[in-house]
């Protein structure tokens, strides 16, 4: 065997490390190591030998963290000794440009049946939580009253966001740098509505406006949804007849459409919007108790009409408990899944108009066991797994028959008022204590 | 106590961050600034990457990102200004090389600067939405070098000048061109388009405007097209070598517009070499080139097509109306076929079988073939000629080819019913005289006509074939039941169904006694086997074989028509007969008799009769003798009847009249069919629908349709609406 030619020697803060340029190549071009080497991962001649003695390359950084990060480059795994604070490691990783490597090694690919509680974060906001939304890269934002607190994936808190200090109705991530919040109209003063904020600095970048008959009108923005073709949807309530769904372009920020609510139906009050990519439609759901009845419809903006709708307005309510409290469309199975306050799941066929709810027989007898301060159940869908929150736990169901496979529970903090999945993490917001939990899938086993 | 020494509280601001050195930021920036200078001065080997990276990191960490960023902009700008001066100072041809060299240097420096400032690029710039370092470097280069007033125009003129030189045949440094153009592209599509492409296209347009003007003055059309094609290829090649691929469409459209679109009409109509000449001189290559070039410009192909159509119509019109060329129908049709073959060839080899051209060809043929009313007759005569003798010794495939071509011409005919009329006549003659070369060919053509025009069109023609077959059987039956007739003259009768055959009611002539007896026997036999039928003799259509001995004892078998037989038989009992006597004895209609005598007495080599006085024409006081001196080297002599192959003028009139007569019931039937389904319809629509329905057979004349409508109203099939006179109602 000859001498290995690609050996590299570092002196980091006084400690000698030896590695190979092959290992360093794992850091990628956009890292400090990428800048130190040329296109073929040979040391760039101009910088060679200049930082240290002999063939050593000196770096004035913390050697303990360097050792962790070097192992990360070697094995793609992150093992943090107890004596190193996480924050220090993140700081060092940021210096070398390895933050993304750390993040992807920290937790594994999302699987609802392998989730472990990773952390709980307590905040100081007054009042009940409204919503929690997972960001695309593992961060999240939490809405309480009129404030939205933004956390990055390291769970560092960034400056909070608020729009005229009005009550926040919904929050959404446009991308990892931008969030949109929708708030109530400030009566009589024409503010409120919707704003786009920088997630890192919290500054307001754009305020969305609604035009009715070429006049800018103030409005209350409700639920939000985003489509892959860069549109933002929101349920809007203006004066008497200005109810409906507003549509904006993400790039220009301009309003591109407004779908007025037809008489006898509800769109502007909607609790939930969901963009259906396969059908090119928007699911709009207004649920009890915001209205006395539930209205679920699919709106096709190209044809400018509601292409599917369901309501319990005509159904005689004999069994009081079967009121729909949340709904989610499942495009693979062409159905809408609904849940009532006892966590019974029901399904409505999307292929026929005016069908009825097929309640799943797997209902649990919950009567009499309700906690003092119940929260309405919520639904989420992630790659063939259906999640449903009830009281202080989240149930996981698997396709195609939606069998209950896991239950996530943590007894601190009271009922779960909202939860969200994104960036391979699940965030659950509790209603009693101001705390939210982060559930992650551990990295895959070694063998 | 309380008024004792008051304690003085002094509230100091809490020191949030302990800055080690107030001049820290300034000092750090100096180090980095120095490094940037060194990098631009090619002196980077003494720099420590780690130190610089760490310093830049620290500046961002300590919230001096803004200072770092603005410092970078200032430093880089000042360096680029210096570089700009150096480039400006470059002499003549070295200008581009200097620019290219500095551009490469700048790119290298930019890469190094970005490496050092990577931390800022990654954290500070996204959160403040500033331009990343690499893009910033390009923008500064654009603003300070490419857009500097002294360089901008010089760069453009240099580039355009080089390209102009290349167009005039000089060899230029294409690698350098490629690098410079690449630079403009790297600076963003708008720089390439605004600073270069726009002007390039303008200058090119001007150049080609001038060049095309020059060429068109001195070249013929073919040469011009060759030059245009070469220029087009050159431009495409230029794009692949050193321009943005997106420019290809733009520059080719400039060349197309200047060299082709602007001169299209002039090229097409160029004297002695334009499109018509290409057609005449069979210049397939030039035609192909013209097609390919004209295809690229709007209205190009339609221009070619229009010229082709008008040329075809004109030559076709000459072809079908030139009385000289109408003398021989076979030649006439052959010429049409040759013309069609030629243009089919041009369309397939030069116009890539363009459907629109095929349609234009078809419509032109349809136009001029129908200019001549005799076209249907001639086409039928052509078929007749081919089926009579033309197809002898020709293979089956070739027969099919010829028949297909005939069918193609047939398709162009508007008056298909006239063709049918003639075809029936000609077919009848062929069948009755047994002159058909190939039964298969006959049937094949009928099948083709059937697929083209439907069952109705050919049912009568097929009936004719059936009649021929049954007649054979009848004759066999006749002779089987009359065995005593074996020795006498043989009679062959063809029983023709009335209606299927183009028979004219004619007065039967007086047959010789032997024959009329035989005919009587056949009549009684036939009517005995088929009750309820009527037989009438068509003596004008028969033939006869007779044996004759002449003066010196020489014997010949004469093949003659029935009329001729009747005349010749008279000479068994007389030596001299005058015209009147013959006419009385035979009762042959005068025109037929004259023709018959003419063929017996006036045709050289076949004159079995002698006439006094000797003249070409038959007069009423001529006298006829057996020509004892008749001699022929053949034993069998066929004496043809002098028949005009083409129809004579009165015959033509007659046929036309019969055709018109036949059309009447067809038009009426069409009107009734349409009205039955529509119940009410206005005048214009009914004309349109009738014309459409009858199109496959003939082009109905509107006045004739109107007459038919009136006749139907008289007969209570239709009525006019009482309020709207233009509206017709169907009366069930």
Residue with the larger pLDDT of the pair A270 and B613 = A270
**Per-residue pLDDT at B1:** 47
- pLDDT tens per residue across span A93-145: 999 999 999 999 999 999 999 999 999 998 877 767 889 999 999 999 999 88
For residue A36 the two structure tokens come to 């130190």
Burial class (CB in 10 A: 0-12, 13-18, 19+), B380: buried
Looking at residue B354, the DSSP 8-state letter turns out to be: -
The CATH topology of domain B649-730 is Arc Repressor Mutant, subunit A (1.10.10)
Highest mean pLDDT of the ranges A193-197, B500-504, B555-559:
A193-197
**Do B491 and B537 contact (CB within 8 A), yes or no?**
no
**Per-residue pLDDT at A1:** 47
As a three-state string, the secondary structure of A37-85 is ECCCCCECCCCCCCCCCCCEEEECCCHHHHHHHHHHHHHCCCCCCCCCC
A36–B49 C-beta distance less than 8 A: yes
For residue B362 the two structure tokens come to 């078809």
**Per-residue pLDDT at A316:** 59
Highest mean pLDDT of the ranges A109-118, B573-582, B719-728:
A109-118
**Do B396 and B438 contact (CB within 8 A), yes or no?**
no
Alpha-carbon gap, residue A194 to A210, rounded angstroms: 10
Lowest pLDDT segment from A193-207, A325-339, B296-310, B510-524: B510-524
What are the strands, taking DSSP E only, across B573-673?
Answer: 576-578, 609-612, 623-626, 636-638
Average pLDDT for A250-278: 90
**Per-residue pLDDT at A45:** 46
Question: Hey, which residues does A151 pair with through a beta bridge?
Answer: A140, A157
pLDDT of A47 higher than 50: no
What are the strands, taking DSSP E only, across B372-485?
Answer: none
pLDDT of A14 higher than 60: yes
Show the CA angle centred on residue B52, arms to residues B46 and B54, nearest 5°.
145
pLDDT of B424 higher than 50: yes
Alpha-carbon gap, residue B494 to B472, rounded angstroms: 8
Alpha-carbon gap, residue B90 to B107, rounded angstroms: 20
**Per-residue pLDDT at B282:** 87
Pick from B58, B70, B123: which is nearest to A200 by CA?
A: B123
pLDDT of B21 higher than 80: no
Domain definitions of chain B by residue range:
23-145, 149-298, 304-467, 468-529, 543-638, 649-730
Alpha-carbon gap, residue A339 to A371, rounded angstroms: 18
pLDDT of B152 higher than 80: yes
pLDDT of B236 higher than 90: yes
Average pLDDT for B434-451: 82
Looking at residue B121, the DSSP 8-state letter turns out to be: I
Average pLDDT for B706-723: 86
Domains of chain A: 7-106 (3.30.710.10), 116-440 (2.130.10.10)
The nearest CA of chain B is from the CA of A167 a distance in Å of 27
The b/e string for B559-594 (b: 16+ C-beta within 10 A; e otherwise) is: bbbbbbbbbbbbbeeeeebebeebbebbebeeebbb
> Is there a cis peptide before residue A378, judged by omega within 30 degrees of 0?
no
**Per-residue pLDDT at A63:** 94
- pLDDT tens per residue across span B177-233: 999 999 999 998 889 998 899 999 999 999 999 999 998 888 888 899 999 999 999
As a three-state string, the secondary structure of B497-509 is CECCECCCCCCCC
Question: Which three-class secondary structure state does DSSP give residue B556?
Answer: strand
B127–A45 C-beta distance less than 8 A: no
Question: Which three-class secondary structure state does DSSP give residue A361?
Answer: coil
Tally the residues of chain A: 447
Q: Above pLDDT 70, what percent of chain B?
A: 95
A45–B45 C-beta distance less than 8 A: yes
Q: Taking CB atoms and an 8 Å cutoff, what residues of chain A touch B112?
A: 46
Strands A378-382 and A231-237: unpaired
pLDDT of B264 higher than 50: yes
For residue B223 the two structure tokens come to 């040469």
For residue B22 the two structure tokens come to 């107030």
The mean of the pLDDT values for chain B is: 85
Alpha-carbon gap, residue B564 to B596, rounded angstroms: 6
The b/e string for B118-154 (b: 16+ C-beta within 10 A; e otherwise) is: bbbbbbbbeeeebeebeebbbebbbebbbebeebeeb
The CATH architecture to which B304-467 belongs is Up-down Bundle (1.20)
Average pLDDT for A396-406: 88
**Segment holding B313, helix H or strand E:** helix B300-321
Closest residue in chain A to residue B120, using alpha carbons only: A95
Which of A30, A46, A97 lies nearest to residue B47, judging by beta carbons? A46
Looking up tokens 């591109």, which residue turns up?
A256
**Do A425 and A110 contact (CB within 8 A), yes or no?**
yes
**Do A273 and A245 contact (CB within 8 A), yes or no?**
yes
The nearest CA of chain A is from the CA of B112 a distance in Å of 8
Show the CA angle centred on residue B487, arms to residues B482 and B491, nearest 5°.
65
Question: Hey, which residues does A19 pair with through a beta bridge?
Answer: A8
Looking up tokens 């039964």, which residue turns up?
B439
Same fold, B149-298 and B304-467: yes
C-alpha to C-alpha distances, A381 to A319, A328, B318, nearest whole angstrom: 27, 8, 82
Show the CA angle centred on residue B10, arms to residues B5 and B14, nearest 5°.
155
- Top residue of B50, B52, B54, B117 to mutate, by most chain A CBs within 10 Å, is B50
> Which residues does B198 contact at the CB level (< 8 Å), separation at least 6?
none
A35–B49 C-beta distance less than 8 A: yes
pLDDT of B487 higher than 80: no
This model of the complex carries an ipTM of 0.81
**Per-residue pLDDT at B566:** 85
The CATH architecture to which B543-638 belongs is 2-Layer Sandwich (3.30)
Pick from B65, B47, B48: which is nearest to B56 by CA?
A: B65
Q: Taking CB atoms and an 8 Å cutoff, what residues of chain A touch B115?
A: 35-36
What residues of chain B have any CB closer than 8 angstroms to a CB in chain A?
A: 44-51, 53-54, 57, 112, 114-116, 118-119, 122-123, 126-127
Strands B636-638 and B718-720: unpaired
Alpha-carbon gap, residue B672 to B732, rounded angstroms: 10
The nearest CA of chain B is from the CA of A22 a distance in Å of 19
Looking up tokens 């750090």, which residue turns up?
B28
The mean of the pLDDT values for chain A is: 86
Looking at residue B131, the DSSP 8-state letter turns out to be: -
Q: Taking CB atoms and an 8 Å cutoff, what residues of chain A touch B53?
A: 32, 35
Using the Cβ of A98 and the Cβ atoms of chain B, whether some distance falls under 8 Å is answered with no
Q: Which CATH superfamily is domain B23-145 in?
A: Cullin Repeats (1.20.1310.10)
Q: Which CATH superfamily is domain B149-298 in?
A: Cullin Repeats (1.20.1310.10)
Alpha-carbon gap, residue A79 to A68, rounded angstroms: 7
Would you report the helix, strand and coil content of chain B in percent, each value rounded to 5?
65, 5, 25
Q: Taking CB atoms and an 8 Å cutoff, what residues of chain A touch B48?
A: 47, 50-51
A45–B126 C-beta distance less than 8 A: no
Of the pLDDT bands very low, low, confident and very high (cuts 50, 70, 90), residue A264 is confident
> Which residues does B629 contact at the CB level (< 8 Å), separation at least 6?
B550, B551
**Per-residue pLDDT at A366:** 52
Alpha-carbon gap, residue B459 to B476, rounded angstroms: 26
């Amino acid at each position: 065997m000859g001498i290995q030619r690609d050996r590299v020697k570092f002196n980091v803060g006084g400690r000698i490390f030896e590695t190979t340029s092959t290992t360093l190549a794992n850091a990628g071009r956009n890292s400090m190591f990428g800048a130190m080497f040329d296109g073929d991962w040979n040391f760039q001649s101009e910088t060679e030998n200049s930082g240290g003695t002999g063939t050593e390359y000196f770096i004035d950084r913390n050697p303990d963290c360097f050792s962790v990060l070097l192992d990360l480059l070697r094995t793609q795994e992150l093992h943090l000794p107890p004596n190193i604070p996480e924050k220090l490691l993140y700081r060092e990783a940021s210096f070398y440009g390895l933050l993304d490597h750390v993040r992807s090694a920290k937790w594994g690919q999302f699987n609802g049946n392998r989730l472990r509680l990773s952390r709980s974060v307590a905040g100081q906001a007054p009042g009940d939580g409204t919503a929690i939304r997972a960001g695309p890269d593992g961060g999240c934002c939490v809405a309480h009253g009129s404030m939205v607190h933004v956390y990055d994936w390291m769970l560092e808190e960034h400056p909070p966001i608020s729009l005229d200090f009005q009550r926040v109705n919904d929050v959404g991530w446009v991308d990892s740098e931008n969030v949109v919040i929708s708030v109530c109209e400030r009566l009589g003063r024409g503010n409120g509505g919707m704003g786009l904020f920088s997630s890192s600095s919290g500054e307001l970048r754009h305020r969305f406006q609604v035009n009715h008959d070429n006049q800018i009108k103030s409005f209350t923005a409700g639920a939000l949804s985003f489509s892959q073709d860069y549109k933002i949807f929101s349920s809007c309530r203006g004066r008497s007849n200005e109810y409906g769904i507003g549509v904006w372009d993400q790039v220009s920020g301009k309003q591109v459409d407004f779908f007025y609510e037809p008489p006898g139906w509800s769109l502007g009050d909607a609790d939930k919007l969901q963009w259906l990519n396969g059908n090119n439609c928007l699911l709009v759901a207004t649920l009890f108790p915001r209205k006395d009845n539930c209205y679920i419809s699919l709106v096709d903006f190209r044809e400018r009409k509601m292409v599917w709708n369901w309501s319990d307005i005509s159904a005689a309510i004999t069994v009081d408990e079967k009121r729909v409290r949340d709904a989610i469309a499942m495009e693979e199975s062409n159905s809408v899944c609904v849940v009532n306050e006892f966590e019974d799941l029901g399904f409505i066929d999307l292929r026929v108009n005016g069908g009825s709810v097929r309640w799943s027989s797997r209902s649990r007898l919950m009567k009499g066991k309700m906690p003092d301060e119940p929260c309405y159940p919520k639904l989420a869908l992630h790659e063939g797994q259906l999640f449903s929150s009830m009281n202080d736990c989240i149930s996981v169901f698997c396709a195609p028959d939606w069998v209950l496979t896991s239950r996530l529970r943590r007894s601190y903090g009271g009922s779960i008022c909202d939860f969200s999945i994104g960036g391979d993490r699940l965030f659950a917001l509790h209603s009693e204590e101001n705390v939210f939990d982060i559930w992650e899938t551990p990295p895959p086993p070694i063998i | 106590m309380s008024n004792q020494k008051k304690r003085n509280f002094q509230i100091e601001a809490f020191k949030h961050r302990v800055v080690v050195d107030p001049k820290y930021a300034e000092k750090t920036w100096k180090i980095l600034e120095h490094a940037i200078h060194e990098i631009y001065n090619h002196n980077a080997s003494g720099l420590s990457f780690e130190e610089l990276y760490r310093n830049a990191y620290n500046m961002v960490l300590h919230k001096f990102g803004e200072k770092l960023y603005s410092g970078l902009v200032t430093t880089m700008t000042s360096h680029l200004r210096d570089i700009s001066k150096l480039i400006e100072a470059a002499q003549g041809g070295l200008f581009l090389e200097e620019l290219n060299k500095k551009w490469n240097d700048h790119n290298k420096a930019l890469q190094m600067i970005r490496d050092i400032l990577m931390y800022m690029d990654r954290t500070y710039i996204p959160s403040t939405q500033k331009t990343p370092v690499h893009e910033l470097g390009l923008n500064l280069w654009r603003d300070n070098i490419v857009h500097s007033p002294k360089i901008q125009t010089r760069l453009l003129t240099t580039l355009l000048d080089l390209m102009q030189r290349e167009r005039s045949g000089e060899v230029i440094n294409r690698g350098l061109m490629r690098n410079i153009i690449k630079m403009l592209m790297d600076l963003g599509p708008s720089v390439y388009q605004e600073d270069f492409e726009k002007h390039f296209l303008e200058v090119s347009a001007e150049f080609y405007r001038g060049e095309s003007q020059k060429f068109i003055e001195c070249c013929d059309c073919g040469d011009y097209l060759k030059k245009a094609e070469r220029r087009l290829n050159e431009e495409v090649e230029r794009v692949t070598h050193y321009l943005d691929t997106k420019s290809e469409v733009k520059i080719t459209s400039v060349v197309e517009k200047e060299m082709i679109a602007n001169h299209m009409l002039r090229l097409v109509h160029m004297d002695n070499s334009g499109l018509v000449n290409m057609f005449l001189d069979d210049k397939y290559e030039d035609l192909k080139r013209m097609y390919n070039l004209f295809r690229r410009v709007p209205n190009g192909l339609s221009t070619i097509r229009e010229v082709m159509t008008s040329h075809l119509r004109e030559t076709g019109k000459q072809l079908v109306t030139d009385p000289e060329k109408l003398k021989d129908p076979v030649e006439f049709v052959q010429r049409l076929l040759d013309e069609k073959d030629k243009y089919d060839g041009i369309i397939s080899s030069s116009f890539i079988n363009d459907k629109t051209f095929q349609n234009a060809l078809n419509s032109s043929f349809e136009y001029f073939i129908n200019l001549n009313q005799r076209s249907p007759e001639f086409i039928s005569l052509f078929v007749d000629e081919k089926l009579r003798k033309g197809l002898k010794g020709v293979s089956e495939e070739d027969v099919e080819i010829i028949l297909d071509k005939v069918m193609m011409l047939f398709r162009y005919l508007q008056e298909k019913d006239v063709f049918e009329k003639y075809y029936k006549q000609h077919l009848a003659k062929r069948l009755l005289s047994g002159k058909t070369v190939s039964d298969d060919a006959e049937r094949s053509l009928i099948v083709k006509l059937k697929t083209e025009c439907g069952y109705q069109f050919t049912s009568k023609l097929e009936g004719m074939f059936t009649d021929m077959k049954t007649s054979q059987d009848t004759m066999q039956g006749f002779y089987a039941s009359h065995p005593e007739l074996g020795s006498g003259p043989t009679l062959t009768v063809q029983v023709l169904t009335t209606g299927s055959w183009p028979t004219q009611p004619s007065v039967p002539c007086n047959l010789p006694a032997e024959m009329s007896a035989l005919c009587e026997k056949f009549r009684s036999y036939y009517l005995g086997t088929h009750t309820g039928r009527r037989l009438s003799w068509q003596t004008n259509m028969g033939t006869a074989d007779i044996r004759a001995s002449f003066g010196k004892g020489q014997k010949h078998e004469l093949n003659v028509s029935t009329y001729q037989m009747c005349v010749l038989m008279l000479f068994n009992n007389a030596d001299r007969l005058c015209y009147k006597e013959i006419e009385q004895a035979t009762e042959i209609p005068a025109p037929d008799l004259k023709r018959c005598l003419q063929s017996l007495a006036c045709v050289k080599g076949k004159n079995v009769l002698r006439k006094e006085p000797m003249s070409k024409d038959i007069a009423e006081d001529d006298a006829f003798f057996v020509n004892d001196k008749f001699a022929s080297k053949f034993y069998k002599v066929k004496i043809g009847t002098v028949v005009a192959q083409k129809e004579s003028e009165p015959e033509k009139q007659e046929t036309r009249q019969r055709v018109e007569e036949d059309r009447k019931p067809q038009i009426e039937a069409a009107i009734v069919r349409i009205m039955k389904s529509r119940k009410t319809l206005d005048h214009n629509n009914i004309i349109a629908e009738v014309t459409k329905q009858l199109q496959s057979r003939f082009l109905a004349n509107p006045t004739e349709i109107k007459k038919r409508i009136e006749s139907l109203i008289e007969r209570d099939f239709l009525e006019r609406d009482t309020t709207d006179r233009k509206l017709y109602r169907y009366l069930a």
